[in-house]
Amino acid sequence: MKFVMIFLVLSLVVLMADPGDCFFKSAWRGVKAVFKGARAGWKANKQQRTQEKFARYQQQLQNPEEQEDQPQHWR
């Protein structure tokens, strides 16, 4: 019976607390910021790889005779 009463009192204290001052809210903002940063970094890396591939392709189109003496796996 004591545990039930302690549980009810603590749950009332938690429910009556101001929801804007919650630790979980600030932690959630931090988690969202980390994921947004990781997503932005991933997109930037993907864009950079795409640009590098495009530059290599353009170089191959401009200088096709220089590319023929290199092995296939170097291209």
Model confidence pLDDT, tens digit, residues 19-68: 666 667 777 888 899 999 999 999 999 999 999 999 999 988 888 766 55
Q: Is the pTM of this model over 0.85?
A: no
Contact 17, 23 (CB under 8 A): no
> Where in the chain are the domains?
30-63
Contact 1, 8 (CB under 8 A): no
- CA–CA dist 50, 46 (Å, integer): 6
